[in-house]
Chains A and B, each alone.
Chain A
Amino acid sequence: MIRLSIPVRQALEKLSLPVLIAAAFALMLIGKADAVLAVRVRMALTDTLSPIYATMAQPLANLRGVASDVVDIWDIRAENTRLRAENEQLRRWQAAALALEAQNQEFKAQLNWMPMAAPAFTTAPVVADSGGVYARSVLLAVTPPHHLTKGEIALDDRGVVGRVTEVGARSARVLLITDINSRIPVVLASGGHAVMEGTNGAFPVLRYWPEGSAPIDGERVMTSAAADAFPAGLPLGTVHYNSDNVPQVYPEADLDHLSMLRLFDYDSTGVLAPDAPAGRLATPATPGAGSAGATTQGRTSPAIRSR
């Protein structure tokens, strides 16, 4: 270290602050003039620090977990009252359902009612969400002993997801109800009929309802047996009018988070599902839409039908 005389050192000490203030201005000018340099210095610094932050991440996450637990405990009272109210409501629904079931049993007993065959189903995992801007479909993995057929109906735990449109040796593609190629005849809770069209957006829209039976906001939409494309009564969603006064269907199925699908073989679809995406080769020899009962796949099951 250079030995300086005391007056010089004092002078330097006094000078250092103004000089550094000037340097701060210079720094600001440099930072303004060369923005790339500033970014690079910043990146280098955060790169150096990132391992430290990474080691801190786990304890921090624990700490945050504890904090959120505390908040949860705080909220538990309100949650409890809400759940109690909901439980009460559910119990009322349960009572209604039981009453209806009993009534149903009674009617069945009186009417010599013929039950529908329980549909066979297979379950397959969704391996790829190949939906994009132009198509909404998902890819399923199918293991060899199982086999899917075109036209099977895919449901998740809440409602209809779509139809199987392509079947490969180990995979199958399901065209979602939101795809622009998807058109599904539906029945509204109020009794009206319509067609649900996909838009490639999050919500399909309803079209072609008879005059005088417009969809009502909030009512449930179910599949209709019209054209024999779907069995009747599968849950699709609820009607909501958007700002353009177009009735949209908010799908019941959780289309954004599909992981497992149940594929029901109703075995009666006279209308083949469309191909996805548009422009692929269509299967030949499809009968005209609406030719009820005429199955072209050679998979008729008279035993079930005639029961």
Chain B
Amino acid sequence: MDKTPGIRPRRSLGQRMDKAARRGFPAGTTILGIFLISAPLGLPGQAQVMPAFSLSAIFFWTLFRPASVPPPAVFLIGLLADLLGEMPIGTSVLTLLLTQYLVVRSRRYLLQKGFLFVWLLFVAVAAVAAALQWALACLMNWALYPPIAGVFQFLLSAGLYPLLATAFTQAHRAVAAPERV
């Protein structure tokens, strides 16, 4: 939607591509990250990085660039995370969509707050998300899994967010800034 109406020269192809790239940056990097995390890196705790990363990314980008992560994109990201992260299909989709819903609803309020508050809220969201995914996995496979994996996932999400948020903020201000075209 054109926020600043007026007469100006038509954009060149390069400019339009640049704009599209900047617009697609959040969803694109998230999908790329999911592919990378699912690669056989042989890292310890790699299975838990996937939900931590996708949750952090969706939380951050929904908060700061909601237009770049529309719900269908979140749906796709969740589906990829489910398929590549060996989760029961649909659980990440649901968790990410609910997270987005929550962030969209409280966005105006959150944008006025500092980083620490946002992080604390994210920690709460991560706790609920980890519990939800654990419960859904148990329910879908009809087995009681040890909750330690969920606890680990929560801790990893909470700890990874500041790192990812720093990187995302840099990108948000430089590479992916849509107004810099």
Contact = CB atoms under 8 A, between A and B. Distances in A.
Interface of A: 16-17, 20-21, 23-32, 38, 41-42, 45-46, 49, 52-53, 56-57, 60, 64
Interface in B53-96: 70-72, 74-75, 78-80, 83-84, 86, 88-91, 93-94
Main SS of chain B's interface residues? helix
A17 B71 contact: yes
A17 B104 CA distance: 10
B90 to A, nearest CB: 3
A24 B90 CA distance: 5
A17 B70 CA distance: 9
Contacts of A52: 35, 39
A101 B86 CA distance: 65
27 contacts: A16-B70, A16-B72, A17-B71, A17-B100, A17-B101, A17-B104, A20-B71, A20-B72, A20-B74, A21-B94, A21-B97, A21-B98, A21-B101, A23-B75, A24-B90, A25-B90, A27-B90, A27-B93, A28-B136, A28-B140, A30-B89, A31-B89, A31-B140, A32-B88, A42-B83, A53-B39, A60-B42
A285 B90 CA distance: 75
Contacts of B38: 49
B7 interface: no
Contacts of A45: 80, 83-84
Among B38, B91, B97, the most chain A Cβ lie within 10 Å of the Cβ of: B97
The size class of the interface chain B forms with chain A is: 20 to 34
Q: Which 10 A-B pairs have the closest CB atoms?
A: A28-B90, A31-B89, A27-B90, A24-B94, A24-B93, A16-B71, A17-B71, A20-B71, A21-B97, A20-B75
Main SS of chain A's interface residues? helix
Given A17-B104, A52-B35, A31 B94 contact: no
A24 B75 contact: yes
A57 B40 contact: yes
B97 A17 contact: yes
Interface string B27-63: 0000000010011111000000000000000000000
Contact of B97 (A24, A38, A57): A24
Given A20-B71, A53-B39, A28 B89 contact: yes
Given A31-B90, A56-B39, A57-B40, A20 B97 contact: yes
Given A31-B89, A64-B42, 14 more contacts: A16-B70, A17-B104, A20-B75, A23-B93, A24-B78, A24-B94, A27-B89, A28-B136, A29-B90, A31-B88, A31-B140, A49-B35, A53-B40, A60-B39
Contacts of B39: 52-53, 56, 60
A23 B90 CA distance: 9
Contacts of B35: 49, 52
A232 to B, nearest CB: 51
A45 B86 CA distance: 12
Nearest to A29: B90
Contacts of B91: 28
A212 B51 CA distance: 66
